[in-house]
Chain A
Amino acid sequence: MTEPVSISLTVNGATHDLVVAPRKTLADVLREDLGLTGTHVGCEHGVCGACTILIDGAPARACLTYAVQMEGHELTTIEAVAKSGELTPLQRALTQVHGLQCGFCTPGIVLTFEVWLRDNPDPDEAGVREALSGNICRCTGYQNIVKAVLAAAAEMRRGAGA
C-alpha cells in the first residue's frame, strides 16, 4: 500500500533498517531519517545537482530517486568521500583555489567529479565546463571550480604516475 514499508539501505558501507513511505525521496531519507545532511536539496527536479550522490558508484540525483528503490544498492554520500578525515585531491583543490563560498553546491560537485575524473583523467577546460553544467553554483561564478577540477586532475595524474 502507500503506507510506510520496511527497507534496509546501505549507505557509506553501513546498513540501516528503516520504515519509509514509498513517496519519500532518497534525498529526504538521507537527510531526515539518517541525519546525513551533507546531501543538499535545491530544486527537486534534477536541474541543480546539489543532491547528487553515488548509486553503485555512479552519480545520480537523490531527489529523483525513491529510497524504496535503493534496497540492494550501495550508496555513497559526501560524508564518506574523505577517508579518515583526509580530504581527496579534489576536495583539497577546491579549498586551495577558493572553489567554494557558501558550499551549498559543493557536495554534489565533489561526488560528480570524483567519478567524472576517473572517466576523464586528462580533461581540458571545455570538457570540465561541459560536465559542470549539471551543477548550479550561485556564488563562485564557476571560474575557481573549473580551476580546482583541473588542478585535482593534474594532482591525481601525478599521484597515479608516482
Chain B
Amino acid sequence: MKPASFTYHRPGCLDDALGLMATLGVTAKPLAGGQSLGPMMNMRLARPEHVVDLNDLLELDFVRVTDAVVEIGALTRHHRVATDPEIARALPLLAKAAQSIGHYAIRQRGTLGGSLVHADPAAQYALVAITLDAEVVIRSARTTRVVPAVDFVQSIMTVDLAPDELVTAVRFRRLAPAEGWGFEMFSRRHGDFALVSVALTLRRDGHGAISNLRLGVGGVGPVPERLAVVERDACRLAADVGTIAVLARQAADNVTPEDDPQVPANYRRELVEAVTARALTAAVLKTESPS
C-alpha cells in the first residue's frame, strides 16, 4: 500500500505546468487534491513516472459569477464550492451536491477538476455538469478548447483529455430565480459514493404546469445520463403529487442499471424512482409562488 517511485514537479504557474505536461506527456500525471489519485497510487493502480503538482496554481482556484454563468476554477476545493456564498445564491444545486461529496476532510483537499477528470460513474460533479449543460475549459501549451460536459465524460474513468492537457475551469449555466431545482442521492453510509443520485431543474409556465425539465441520473451506468424522454413528457403536466409519481416511475423505466451481486438492478431501479420523486418534490416546492 505504498506508491511506486516517481519524480516530483512543482510548477509555480499554469504556463509552467502546461510546459511540463507538454514535455512529459503520458509519463506524467497531474496531482490536484490527491483524493482519488492518492488511493490509486497507494494501491499501485496508477504508477506515473512523473507527478506534476498543481496545488501552487492559485490562478485555478476561483469562483466567477456573471449574469448568465458561474465559472469555477479546476483547483477549487469541494469545501469552497459547498460553502461559497456566491455559489449558494447563483447555483445552489451545485453547492448541495458538493456538500454531499465524501467527508469533511476529503472536501478540504478534493477539487472540481480532479473529480471531473477522475470520472467516477457516481461522482456528484459530473452529474450536475451534465444536467446543467456545463462546459469544460481545457488548456495545453498548444491550444485552448471548450467541451460540453456530456462529451467530456466518455466512460468509467475515461474523459476527452490528451496527455498534455489540463482542465482549467468549468462553466455552469446559472439558475434563474424562478427555476426550481433538486439534488438527492442514496448511499448506504454517509460519505460513500451514491448508489443512485438525481439532479434536476424545472420551471413552471403561466398555468403552474411544469416546463423545461432537465433531469440527470448518476450511478446507473458508466456515466451520468440525461433522461430525455422524461424531460420531454414532463412538459405541461400539472406540478402535483400524481405527476411526480408518474415521472419518477418513468425515470425508473428509462434506466438500465447493471446487475451486481450486492446491488441488484431492480433495487437500483427502485432507488431511481424514490430518489427522483424526492428531487422533483423539492424542485416543485421551490417554485410554488407564495400566496
A59: chain B residues within 8 A (beta carbon)? 104-105, 108
The answer to whether B2 and A23 have CB atoms under 8 Å apart is yes
Q: Is the interface of A mostly helix, strand, loop or mixed?
A: mixed
Across chains A and B, the number of contacting residue pairs, with CB separation under 8 Å, is 91
Q: If A49-B105, A130-B190 touch, does A1 touch B38 (CB 8 Å cutoff)?
A: no
A103 at the binding interface (Cβ < 8 Å):
no
In the assembled complex, the Cα of A23 lies from the Cα of B55 at a distance in Å of 17
Smallest CB gap from B33: residue in A:
A64
Residues of A within 8 A of B3 (CB): 23, 25
Bound-state Cα–Cα, A130 to B104, Å: 9
A83 at the interface (CB under 8 A from B): no
Binding-face segment, B5-13, B65-73, B240-248: B5-13
Interface string of A110-145 (1 = CB under 8 A from B): 001000100000000000011101110000000000
Instruction: Mark interface residues in B9-31 (1 if CB within 8 Å of A CB, else 0).
Output: 01000000000000000000001
Q: How many residues of chain A get a CB closer than 8 Å to chain B's CBs?
A: 32
User: In the complex, what's the smallest C-beta–C-beta distance from A52 to chain B, in angstroms?
Assistant: 5
Is residue A58 contacting chain B, with contact meaning CB distance below 8 A? yes
Q: What is the interface of chain A, defined by CB distance below 8 A to chain B?
A: 1-2, 5, 21-23, 25, 28, 44-46, 49, 52, 55, 58-61, 63-66, 68-69, 112, 116, 129-131, 133-135
Residues on B lying within 8 angstroms of A by beta carbon are 1-8, 10, 31, 34-35, 38-39, 42-43, 51, 53, 55, 79, 102-106, 108-109, 189-191
